[in-house]
Amino acid sequence: MHPLLGRLIVNFVLGLICFIAYSSQIFIIWPWYGSVVSVELLGLLVPFNVLVGMLLWNYFLCVVTDPGQVPSNWEPDVDSDGYEVKKLTGRPRHCRVCNKFKPPRAHHCRQCDRCVLRMDHHCPWINNCVGHFNHGHFIRFLFYVDLACSYHVAMITWRVYSTMGSRYWDEPSGMELVFIILNYVACVPVLLCVGIFSLYHFKGLLQNTTTIEGWEKDKAATMVQRGKIRDVKFPYHLGKRRNIDAVLGSNPLLWCWPTVPPGTGLKYQLSSDDEGSMAVWPPRDPRETSEFQLPASPWTYENGSLNPNLEPNNARLRSSVKPKRSSQNASGTSALPPYHPDYAEAEDGEVVYTSESSSQDSLGAGSFVRRGSEGYEVRPVGREDMLSRYLRELGEEPQRYHRYIPQPLSDSEDDDVPLSQAVKHS
């Protein structure tokens, strides 16, 4: 994503939050209370502004807080427990783009062009990655969006409901009615979309699972259902309470307050079942039987054998097609058909059909076959073979051709003689 586009999205989100939060207070609630400060008005708006303030504070922290990156000289301690390995080699994970080792639960972000510690996902709405050091701020931001939007909808609905009272008709002004509609249109979709998104992340918080790890768990569950692997437990599931402590801190009173997340993001505690033996996560697909190795030479066939001519597999087939037309005048062949007056045979009396073919088998003399996509394909016989076969059917000897010499017209009885007999007796 272009940096300018990311900043525009952040400004759009800020504008939407401020519009929903302050237009409702200025153009709806304030006129409803007669534009006079009162205890009831403060009791209604102060909690709402506290929620909006916490929302904006956590959103600001999500945008400006570095999610965490791998130190330049960091190397995994292979003698201790808790380091992740590659599924195929069993060695510590290494990023080929950053040329650094990957700590546990770290992934490379293409948008940020770096490895992010405990990467959850790249969020375009904050123009930043959600990682180890800002994941807690992101969870609080979603939480306060849900609370503030719910409070806002309830507040506007209360205003609409008050106009339908049985005692008197409190008709809203035109300006107030327009902003009531605009606030509903702006707030309700945000509440629905962010609410569903929040439920997914709150579930991941209780399971100590990031979005990427959620996809890995779904893939592992699919392989278990298909009987490819045995059931593998997620190694970072510590229990619901400890899972929340790992993101929001160990003090429950400060879960809703912006705090620094615990740990360095380079190593994470494992569940009691995996202490002492770190299982490979995500589990390995049994179809991946061996480590992929590059061939010794880049110029190889698909089966790994060396191609000395550095040609594709079908180069011989393509080269056999081109000289077909140019090889018609080769030795033992003639460019003229056998029935042409100027046709001349070869010195040895045989007409040779020269044409390369990719076939390996033959079905009789002069018949070449090759295996195609639909079975064996027989090459059509040459013109000489067709003419020889035709002459044998007529009782003539092959390789001896007669030129037809037209006879002068006459009124004799021989006019009714067939042309074939006339040629035979001539």
Report the alpha-carbon distance of residue 128 to residue 139 in Å, rounded. 14
Which of 175, 281, 285 is closest to 228 using CA atoms? 285
Residues 138 and 127: beta-carbon distance below 8 Å: no
Active site residue 98: no
* CB neighbour burial string for 13-34, b if at least 16 within 10 angstroms, e if fewer: beeebeebbeebbebbbbebee
Long-range contacts of 333-338 (CB under 8 A, 24+ apart): 337/383, 338/383, 338/384, 338/387, 338/401
Residue 128, classed as helix, strand or coil, is strand
Q: Which among 14, 53, 47 is positioned nearest to 257, based on CA atoms?
A: 53
DSSP 371: E
> 62, 109, 112, 123: which is the annotated catalytic residue?
123
Residues 6+ apart with CB under 8 A from 133: 65, 66, 67, 68, 117, 260, 261, 265
CA distance 251 to 245: 8
User: What is the helix (H) or strand (E) element at residue 4, kind and residue range?
Assistant: helix 3-18
The Cα 178–Cα 13 span in angstroms is 22
Q: Return d(Cα 248, Cα 246) in angstroms, integer.
A: 6
How many C-alpha atoms does 44 have within 13 Å on its Cβ side? Answer: 19
Which residues make Cβ contacts (< 8 Å) with residue 215, sequence separation at least 6?
Answer: none
- The span from the CA of 181 to the CA of 198, in Å, is 25
Residue 69 phi/psi, 5-degree rounding, is: -130, 160
SS3 at position 133:
coil
User: What's the rounded Cα separation, in Å, for the pair 272 and 256?
Assistant: 28
Task: State whether residue 122 is helix, strand or coil.
Answer: strand
CB 145 within 8 A of CB 55: yes
Q: List the catalytic residues.
A: 123
